[in-house]
């Protein structure tokens, strides 16, 4: 049997889960077992912390120290855009294919861009806004009744002003 690591060491795990649902403990066991954690308890903690993301796929960061896990939700651009559409919860097992339709105001796109700024490679906020507009196009949403690509072109040529921060 392999020796256990230092109990004081901080270990991080990044998982992709469906928000608000208790994941399959057998899927978590190979990752959490060597760290001496109970997969069922961690699954319950993940479900409790992702309640507001119910039905959406979100990335969760587990920080483990002294056999205690803290759960942190790391938002992705697509899950923030889908959440901004305010769609009702759907059961993934019953409703299989869904195209996300809806309209998002530009102010909400800018708020999402501010949230995602830490992940973005863009130099300015306008570049991050264009990244979020591309995500909105791939999700199938419109921005103020227009195609997100058209809005992105307007941001690029300066027709639409994006604040500095």
DSSP characters for 100-161?
A: ---EE-HHHHHHHHHHGGGT---SSHHHHHHHHHHHHHHHT-EETTB-HHHHHHHHHHTSS-
Q: Retrieve residue 100's tokens.
A: 């996300």
Any bridge partners for residue 74, and if so which?
59
Distance CA 67, CA 25 (A): 17
Q: Retrieve residue 97's tokens.
A: 């294919």
- Cα–Cα separations (whole angstroms), residue 11 to 66, 84, 87, 109: 10, 32, 35, 34
Distance CA 76, CA 83 (A): 11
pTM of the model: 0.70
Q: Which pLDDT score, from 0 to 100, does residue 94 have?
A: 63
Q: Which pLDDT score, from 0 to 100, does residue 59 have?
A: 86
Q: Which residues of the chain have pLDDT under 50?
A: 1
Q: DSSP character for 9?
A: S
Q: How many CA atoms lie within 13 A of 157 on its CB side?
A: 6
Write down how long the chain is.
165
Of 48, 62, 57, the closest CA to residue 20 belongs to 48
Of 124, 89, 82, 132, the closest CA to residue 107 belongs to 132
Distance CA 79, CA 67 (A): 30
Q: Which pLDDT score, from 0 to 100, does residue 1 have?
A: 47
């Amino acid at each position: 049997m392999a020796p256990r690591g230092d109990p004081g060491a901080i270990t991080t795990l990044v998982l992709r889960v469906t928000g608000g649902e208790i994941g399959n403990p057998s899927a978590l066991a190979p990752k959490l077992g060597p760290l001496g954690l109970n997969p069922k308890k961690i699954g319950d903690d993940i479900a409790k912390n992702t309640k507001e993301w119910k039905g959406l796929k979100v990335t969760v960061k587990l920080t483990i120290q002294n056999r205690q896990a803290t759960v942190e939700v790391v938002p992705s651009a697509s899950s923030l855009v889908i959440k901004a559409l305010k769609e009702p919860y759907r059961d993934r097992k019953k409703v299989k294919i869904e195209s996300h339709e809806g309209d998002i105001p530009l102010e909400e796109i800018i708020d999402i861009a501010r949230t995602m700024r830490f992940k973005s490679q863009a130099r300015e906020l306008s570049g991050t806004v264009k990244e979020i507009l591309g995500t909105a196009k791939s999700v199938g949403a419109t921005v103020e009744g227009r195609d997100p690509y058209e809005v992105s072109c307007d941001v690029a040529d300066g027709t639409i002003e994006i604040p500095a921060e």
